[in-house]
Structure 1
Amino acid sequence: MLLTVRPARPPWGYHLGTSLYRSPSPIRPRISLLLHQRHSFASTTDPATADEQPTPAATLAVPCEGRVNEIGVQQLSSHMYKQLFKRPSTPPEPYLVNLAKDHLERHQLLGKISDTSAPIGFDIPELHGETLDEHFHKLGIEASEPYLTNAKNFANSTLPPLPKRWDVKNSKGKYEFHSGWTKYNLNGTAEVGVAPDAEELMVFDVEVLYKHNPFAVMACAGTPNGWYCWISPWIMGETENPRQLVPLGDPTKDRIVIGHNVGYDRARIKEEYNIKQTRNFFLDTMSLHVAVNGMCSQQRPTWLKHAKNRALREQMAAETESLELANLLEHGQFMEEEEELWVGRSSINSLRDVAKFHCNIEVDKKIRDQFGELDRQGVKDQLADLLDYCALDVEITHKVFKQILPRFLEVCPHPVSFGALRHISSVMLPTSKKWEDYISSAESKYQELMEGVTTRLHDLAKLALESKDQPEVYLNDPWLKQLDWTGMEVKMTKGTKKEPPRPVANQKMPGFPKWYKELFKKVGGENILNLTVRQRVAPILLRLTWDGSPLIWSDVHGWCFRIPQEEVGKYKESAVVQVSMSEEENYSLKDDTAHAYFKLPHKDGPVSRVVNPMAKGYLQYFEAGTLGSEYALAKEALEMNAACSYWISARKRIMSQMVIYESDVESMGMEYLHNTENPESETENPESETENKDATSAESTEFGLILPQIIPMGTITRRAVEATWLTASNAKKNRVGSELKAMISAPKGYSLVGADVDSEELWIASLVGDAQFKIHGGNAIGFMTLEGSKNAGTDLHSRTASILGISRNHAKIFNYGRIYGAGLKFAATLLRQFNPGMTDAKAAEIAGNLYHATKGTKTTEKVLSPKAFWRGGTESFVFNTLEEFAEQERPRTPVLAAGITEALMKKYIKKGGYLTSRINWAIQSSGVDYLHLLIISMDYLIRLYSIDARLAITVHDEIRYLVKDSDRYRAAMALQVANIWTRCMFAQQIGINDLPQSCAFFSAVDIDSVLRKEVNLDCITPSHPTPIPHGESLDILELLKRPEAELKNPDRSRIPIKIEDIPYEERTPVMHTLPKMEEVFLKAQIVSDERELKGVVKEARMKLFEQKGVSAAKGRRNNGKVRLSMDEFNKYYQEVERMELEMMEMEMESRAFPKGQGKGKGAKESVAGKTANVAKPPLRQTGYGARVEA
């Protein structure tokens, strides 16, 4: 039953009105109070502000009625609901509602509604079909064609034979190579200067002199109509500019470009560097392989080990002359351990391994090494061989494609999963010449900070060196004693009568100790001191201490600190661990009985060694006074190391980004920027205008593009992978170079429009739990996700923070880790990181409390479930369902039915193997389904309403579009529509035909001039001291107040396929294929008390016994073969009476004694005595056991 509430005032100020239905206690008082508050607010509008109220014509909102579900969670308004759920829905059965209420009440959540917002209603584009699945099926087909059909046809065809030679005969009969494209026809002829402009299907590969520059020197394309090769004019000596891009042809032609890691090849294609998206579909065979036969990170070491053993066996078999021995080796009889089945169902991702796995082709990659050895002239001299190698890669890639595409379409059958890949593979990031300023600024700041600390560190080394002639000093100093003072002797020649002894030639720094010599390296024939804070000698020179005790290096235990034996008790309750030096080879440590040694705490726990106490994680200890030094330089060095840590780790990847500017190509579609007479050059976005005010020269604002070399499905969960942009951090005030993302800036007249999906994977996980009750918010984690309040401490992150005693932000890491299947060890390790002073035992205890409160108690009761299950926690329903998913023969995601990789299928792994990875797969792969649905929705809406926009980047749950300023609010509205379509699709496929209003819309859509996490971040860092003007962030209510956000006047010409004519066959949702949870099992998952569980078990046994009796009776009536004898009949009812008596005893015991008492023999006898003379009353069902009326 849904409560419907009518609006109390016009649409631009609407609020929930009065209820049309009565709500059962205890929710009714709470709802009534909320409704009264809303009604009171609506009727007391301040007259002074009446003129400021928007007029009806100034809003896109329409009048609507509010709706709440059976437990009080506000659902979509009546206006939105009828547009999204066309079929009549069936309310959940009463027993499910009652169970949900009892579950929520046990966790103090029932009735704690926080969403008091007004119902939202506006017109959205009409669905294509009766259901969301039909709608998305048709949108997916429309977006995938003609590519999908062409790809299938190409997978069924064979490439023409390779050309016999690549050079072409000229008019004089001499063979020669030509720069640019050459086509090799099927009849054996060649055409110089003919590009693959007319080709719709091709396999493509480029080769690069990667040690010289990132641009292609050659490329090959195999097509059904012939072969093509491209040679860089730079290689042929026709230009000194190596920045040459490969022209592929008409960007408006529907073309499939297939390659292995094709994102690498795409970055070298000329037409892709344009603000308008081409019609190319870059189809990556590496991604297809990962989705079908990839492996998780835990499997990789095992696979590599087996692959190494297999290669060794094959080599031995090839070299041995004994036929019998060769057969034994070939068939693996000498293997140390049995190869797991999954190893034969997967391979790593290189073309060599993928070709071997799918096609049993051996690929020789020796020639590839020449691209790292040859120079420009060397390539020109060996063009024929190198082109042969490039073309062979193309041919092998096509053979892999033929094998893998059909299997991918079986594993990921929904057209949305295919169609979204075109857009993910075509992302782009706009920038300008300021990119070079960024790199220069970050590098110079890094060098400045490094030089300041390094210079003084050099001084400390020289200060320590002053003791080289004073052994009584360095042998009695706890820091200097650790240095190697040997090697100071000066080797002399043997003197003669005529010539006195002299130093032997070519000695390295004679007279200096070994530790000092090792700090020097030869550069240009000269010894240069090479000393940084990252070297092991730095903590010694800085004289670091822990609680005032000197730091000591141990080859066995890493950095430790040393204290007198009598002070050991001081650290008994501390997080640091005492270690034994018995295995140490350094006798000064091994024989030291006067001192005790303790390891420095490590973020990964006591087993791990600390090798660098100057790492940024130890800055907190320095600030707390635990880690110290007599030199102020020590803290400065730590802060410098922390400030530069991001740039040190990312600088190589950042500096290697390929940035292509307008001067590199003829056109990027940005001509209007340089046409001052064109009105389009005037920006409509004030933020963009402010951003560009200081750009006075054409050089500093020259438009540029970066094409992230993305792998659209780089993990087994089908998440995209890219080394720089998908892992880029947000700007931090004390991190050099961390403003990276903000260097991606929209050109004048454009904005970056996007949003983060709020708690995407957390919501998906909670929805899985809600599905068991058929009610949004029916399970505790679902309710907390939808209705939890940060202020009231009822949201998931606040609750976890309260249990663990940590910050709410830190609690998020625990929650997502747990949802991904991480266990107690992960929680305890993380807890120690956030609370460095916590002991292992305390961390384990607190982590245990968290998992008991969330996942619950693991229970085995065969009468309830054939497998162990979780019960009593806020997330028990979620994990039981996720584990049910993971244990399927071929798990599929609940929405788009994408299958798991073969390497993680149940039949190929040991029982319970890689369970964490399989649970993680179910959630993260569903998150990828969400992204794909969102992208296909946006593609359709952008074309339907002629919005000038294209996908710029997606980072898991973030999505950003580059949008023309005049369309920025319509793009924002399109994102909101796409999001509500996607959320409704998830809800409907999970089995609930409704959606809570609180998660229907993005909490905000950002309209900004740069790429950053929040529009109000200044992005100030040590290398970027100038704040960036803020952008604009709009929630759905603010967006509805803008008439320019309206989606109207659709342009059907941009949708080439008539969607209504696309056939659709209704499919069975994946959730419906899972075994249905019986009422008694739902009860078992709710209870936490052991006595209650016993009651549920008794009830389950009775039901099972009754079902057997009924089955026997039915069998006798149906065919006479099964008969229930009188003895069986009596035995059956005796068992029922015995169960009833046991439950009556439990009931009376629970009333007679408080929880935890009445467990003794006397208590049981007393209860038995009370029940012996009690007449058996009629049974009734109350709570979770069959109980009797008092």
Structure 2
Amino acid sequence: MSVPKFGCRFFIRNLSDQTRFNPLGVQMLSKSLYQQVFPGAESQTEPSQEAINKSVSHLSEHGLWTNGSGTTVTQENIDINLPPLFGENILSHFTKLAEDQVSPYRPLIASLVCEGSLSSPPTQWNYKPGWTCYSNDGSITLVPFPDEKALIFDVEVCVPEGHAPKLAIAMSPNNVYSWVSPRLFSERDFAEKSKVNFDELIPLEGGESWSERIVVGHNVSYDRARIKEQYLFNGPKTKFLDTLSLHTCVSGQTSTQKVLWRSALKRKRQEMESKAFVQSHNEDEFFDAVAKLSRLSKEKWMEVSSPNSLADMYQLYCGGEKIDKSLSEIFIKGNSSDIRDNFQDLMGYCYQDVKCTYEILKVLYPLFLHHCPHPVTLAGMLEMSTMYLPVNESWNTFMQSASNQFVVWTNEESASDHKRKAQGVIIPKVQVSGTVTRRAVEPTWLTASNAKINKIGSEQKAFVQAPPGYCIVGADVDSQEVWIASLLGDNHFTGLQGGTAFGWMSLQGNKSEGTDIHSKTAQTIGITRDHAKVFNYSRIYGSGKQFASTLLKQFNPLLSDEEIDAKSNSLYESTKGIRRMLLSKKAQAIASSAGITIHSDGSINISDWVKEYKSFPPKSRVGTYWYGGTESHMFNKLESIAKSPQPRTPVLNCLISTALQKENVKEKFMTSRINWVVQSSAVDYLHLLLVAVKWLMAHYNITGGRLCISIHDE
């Protein structure tokens, strides 16, 4: 390894132990771990002296490289022996692991997607408790459960009467199944509204000889929470595929887009339904006007995306008439008597939802594989579909604060002392890809404290307790968005970890010396370090000066508007930098004649462009970039990905939703598009972690281990 001109005394330590440093003093994996994780990589080309000098010069400009070196703190090396990689490198290792994990389920999904059509519904639904099978040959049989490897599944609940299931439909390529709750055949109150007895749940499998199965549904975690076998600790091998989550990956919308989409739809309907409008035009003029209105009220992204409801998704992917959801009001506001009185219609309604889910799946699943081609993504999503929260008697002390959660008490016998233990399970209502960034969403469990009555915060997680003989292992990825963003910026600049000021502060910054990211921000604008954290994360997520000004006013109401403006400008110039615009040759000549400073690369400061933009002809702008800040290189990299025709995550190659692709939004929604690069990369990291942990548990024969929950970076 070549030593930079500036001198790095810490290299001497490499000669006598396992510790490794890069030319900037950033501690790397130990020699032993490096050789195991990256076999054969020792022969790779070392960074050039030019790249090293470029990084050192940049760090010096920001006061992070003094007296010939940057500050470095040596951490103790981790010395463990890892199982051998599957494949020649880390990339092929994860590809093979993920393929092995999804291989039992791929053909099951394909059996649904490739089937021409599913079974037709019966002319009359059987009003009997439990499962009824309607075969293609016309036979009707009572069965204990659907004996199928792949199913489309939907459950209906009578909301005013609690969480217990009332009706369900399951479909396979060969059969249709209906399930009717025994509750409908008895006036007895089976349980309190907030409780569900184990015997009231839907049996979907039989025996204890579990085999791989796939269950597809829309927001399928809701349906999964009503399946009996899912509450068994050593339960089945069934995985769940959620069409809602597939949709958010492919054509999901941001929260802002959903509001705009609904608003445009409302305006369109109001004008189309105006009696005065219809009466004042003949039929041809009316439909011409409707077509024109459709073009005016919807931007291109609205035509290629939709919100998450089954009805909206069905129209997007399948076209045709909008699904009639009016009968859902009986489940939302009615009671068991209403369900009995409308049984045939309600079973038909449930069948309609299953059929629509199937038709959506046929179109959506191939699109998902195009958007998320790496097997790790599918493996991670399937693993997350079976999250499981064990609780015991201590949960009862907390029940009043968790009104929208229900526990199923399994009361399994302890193998150690043969005493009855009050063991319960919560199936979290997780959408494994619930936002356009592909982050998981759960309406109740949060990563922070929360005082709202229907929310559960960090302080309540202690009530989730492992069964006897097991323990809960947790991990929180510290500053995940920061290190992902800094890694991208470092790679973009010189390819050296810590090569940018932002990257160096993330890896080497020291709180006690005031060289970490939050301390630097606090010093720049004269605020506390805790307040600086809020500024830093909001900026990385794409917030601008206006948001910074609002925060400053909130943190210090005594500041004048002029002081707030000055501090906001100072913060953004020192971190994000100054925006520059690259000009065409013709535009450069115009700028020069106007006395505007032109930089060596043919760019001008954006502030000069704003003053003189009327002087420039069309297509004068060649591009824009950030310059001079600690985070400029990072934001330039994020923007280069976000502005590309088809942005994909750097690691698993996942494609951004069509609702945010450049051809559909042009220059709009940049905050969401930049945020997607970091957040979606964090999802890649989570999926890689889940695949690795599952492999390690199998390798070391750790039986019975399972994922409890994962929300955001925890």
- The TM-score with structure 2 as length reference comes to 0.88
Deviation of 1:27 after TM superposition, in Å, equals 3.4
Measure how far apart 1:334 and its partner are. 8.2
Distance 1:439 1:153 in 2: 42
Q: 1:338 to 1:315 in 2, by over 3 A?
A: closer
CA distance in 1, matches of 2:330, 2:18: 71
2:23 aligned partner: 70
Tell me the equivalent position of 2:220: 262
Measured in 1, the distance between the counterparts of 2:88 and 2:380 equals 23
Residue type of the partner of 1:348?
P
Aligned counterparts of 1:232 and 1:847: Cα–Cα separation in 2: 61
**Kept in 2: contact 1:428–1:952 (CA 8 A):** yes
Aligned residue for 2:429? Answer: 709
Q: Identify if the C-alpha distance between structure 1 residues 372 and 79 changes in structure 2 by more than 3 Å, giving closer, same or farther.
A: closer
Q: Report the CA distance between 1:276 and its aligned residue.
A: 2.5
Taking the aligned partners of 1:334 and 1:152, their CA distance within structure 2 comes to 36
Mapped partners of 2:456, 2:404: distance in 1: 18
SS at match of 1:80: helix
Q: 1:658 to 1:277 in 2, by over 3 A?
A: same
SS of the aligned residue for 1:27 comes to coil
Partner of 2:59: 104
Residues 1048-1094 of structure 1 show CA distances to partners (whole Å, capped at 9, x for unaligned) of xxxxxxxxxxxxxxxxxxxxxxxxxxxxxxxxxxxxxxxxxxxxxxx
Change in CA separation of 1:334 and 1:812 when aligned onto 2, cut-off 3 Å: closer
2:112 partner letter: F
Change (3 A) 1:129 1:293: same
Tell me the distance in 2 between the aligned counterparts of 1:187 and 1:334.
46
Q: What is the match of residue 801 of structure 1?
A: 522
**Partner Cα separation in structure 2 for residue 373 and residue 778 of structure 1:** 60
Partner of 2:4: 24
Identify the residue that residue 136 of structure 2 maps to in structure 1: 186
Q: Does 1:212 align with 2:161?
A: yes
- SS of 1:137's partner is helix
Give the alignment of 1:404-443 within 5 angstroms: 404-440=364-400
CA drift at 1:238:
7.8
In the alignment, the residues of structure 1 paired with residue 698 and residue 681 of structure 2 have an alpha-carbon distance, to the nearest angstrom, of 26
User: How far off its partner does 1:411 sit?
Assistant: 0.4
C-alpha distance in structure 1 between counterparts of 2:50 and 2:570, whole Å? 31
Matched residue, 2:88: 130
Q: Which residue of 1 aligns with 2:178?
A: 229
2:248 counterpart of 1:248: no
> Counterpart of 2:34?
81
Query: 1:847 maps to which residue?
Result: 568
Q: Which of 940, 956, 962 is equivalent to 2:695?
A: 940
Please report how far the alpha carbon of residue 905 of structure 1 lies from its aligned counterpart in structure 2 after TM superposition.
0.6
In structure 1, the partner of 2:97 is 139
CA distance 1:736–1:708, change in 2 (3 Å): closer
Structure 1 counterpart SS, 2:390: strand
Q: For 1:950, which of 701, 706, 713 is the aligned residue?
A: 706
Q: Say how many residue pairs are matched.
A: 657
Counterpart amino acid of residue 132 in structure 1:
I
Deviation at 1:396, TM superposition (A): 0.7
| Rounded Cα–Cα distance in structure 1 between residues aligned with 2:395 and 2:524 | 45
Q: State the alpha-carbon separation in 2 of the partners of residues 907 and 24 from structure 1.
A: 45
Distance in 2 (alpha carbons) for counterparts of 1:119 and 1:315:
71
Distance 1:270 1:338 in 2: 47
Are residues 1:745 and 2:465 paired? Answer: yes
- Answer whether contact 1:661 1:703 (CA < 8 A) is retained: yes
Task: Provide, for residues 784-828 of structure 1, a one-character-per-residue CA deviation record: whole Å limited to 9, x for no partner.
Answer: 111111111111111112223223222222111111111111111
Deviation at 1:294, TM superposition (A): 0.8
SS in 1 for 2:239: strand
Alpha-carbon contact 2:446-2:458 (below 8 Å) kept: no
- Scaled by the length of structure 1, what TM-score is found? 0.53
Letter of the structure 1 residue corresponding to residue 123 of structure 2: K
How far apart are residue 837 of structure 1 and its match?
Answer: 2.7
Partner of 2:658: 902
The answer to whether the Cα contact below 8 Å between 1:258 and 1:282 also exists between their aligned partners in 2 is: yes
Q: Deviations over 1:719-758 (max 9, x none)?
A: 01111113552799xx998732222222332211011112
Change (3 A) 1:673 1:331: farther
Instruction: Indicate the structure (1 or 2) with the bigger Cα radius of gyration.
Output: 1
| Partner amino acid, structure 2, of 1:907 | E
Once the two structures are TM-superposed, the CA of residue 373 in structure 1 deviates from its matched residue by 3.3
Residue aligned with 1:159, SS: coil
Q: Distance in 1 between matches of 2:528 and 2:555?
A: 9
Contact 1:883–1:919, Cα closer than 8 Å, also in 2: yes
> Out of 551, 560, 566, which is 1:830 matched to?
551
Contact 2:388 2:426 in 1 (8 A): yes
| Structure 1: distance between partners of 2:560 and 2:554 | 11
Contact kept in structure 2, 1:316 and 1:329, CA below 8 Å: no
* Separation (CA, whole Å) in 2 of partners of 1:822 and 1:881: 17
Residue 915 of structure 1 pairs with residue 680 of structure 2: no
Q: Does 1:388 align with 2:136?
A: no
- Per-residue deviation, 1:333: 4.3
3-state SS of paired residue (1:219):
strand
CA distance in 1, matches of 2:457, 2:646: 45
The one-letter amino acid of 1:901's match is S
The answer on 1:349 being equivalent to 2:305 is no
Structure 1 segment 565-714 matched on structure 2, within 5 A: 651=401, 654-663=402-411, 671-672=414-415, 675=418, 702-714=422-434
Partner residue in 2 for 1:150:
108
Say if 1:64 and 1:269 are closer, same or farther in 2 by CA, change over 3 A: farther
Return the offset for 1:150. Answer: 2.1
Aligned-partner residue type, residue 218 of structure 1: L
Which moves more between the two structures, 108-117 or 225-234? 108-117
Change (3 A) 1:333 1:232: closer
Do the aligned residues in 2 keep the contact of 1:276 with 1:950 (CA within 8 Å)?
no
Per-residue CA deviations over 1:456-497 (Å, capped at 9, x if unaligned) read: xxxxxxxxxxxxxxxxxxxxxxxxxxxxxxxxxxxxxxxxxx
Say if 1:905 and 1:121 are closer, same or farther in 2 by CA, change over 3 A.
same
1:819 aligns to 2:555 (yes or no): no
Provide structure 1 residue ranges, at least 5 long, that are not aligned to the other structure. Answer: 3-22, 40-62, 168-176, 441-650, 677-697, 959-1190
Question: Structure 1: how far apart are the matches of 2:112 and 2:190?
Answer: 37
Between the two proteins, what is the percent identity of the paired residues? 39
Q: How many Å separate the matches in 2 of 1:864 and 1:724?
A: 53
Q: 1:741 to 1:108 in 2, by over 3 A?
A: same
Q: Is the 8 A contact 2:204 2:229 kept in 1?
A: yes
Cα deviation for residue 86 of structure 1 reads 2.1
Residue 674 of structure 1 deviates from its aligned partner by: 5.4
Change in CA separation of 1:287 and 1:334 when aligned onto 2, cut-off 3 Å? closer
Instruction: Check whether the contact 2:144–2:203 (CA below 8 A) recurs between aligned residues.
Output: no
1 CA distance for matches of 2:414 and 2:50?
66
SS of aligned partner of 1:838:
coil
Q: Secondary structure at the match of 1:918?
A: helix
SS in 2 for 1:348: coil
1:945-1004 superposed Cα distances (whole Å, 9 cap, x missing partner) = 11131110112111xxxxxxxxxxxxxxxxxxxxxxxxxxxxxxxxxxxxxxxxxxxxxx
Unaligned runs of 5+ in 2: 584-600, 604-621
Once residues 945 and 315 of structure 1 are traced to their aligned partners in structure 2, the CA distance between those partners, rounded to angstroms, is: 65
Alignment of 1:297-316 (within 5 A): 297-315=255-273
Residues 719 and 339 (structure 1), Cα distance of their counterparts in 2 relative to 1, 3 Å cut: same
| Residue 120 of structure 1 pairs with residue 75 of structure 2 | no
Matched letter for residue 95 of structure 1: E
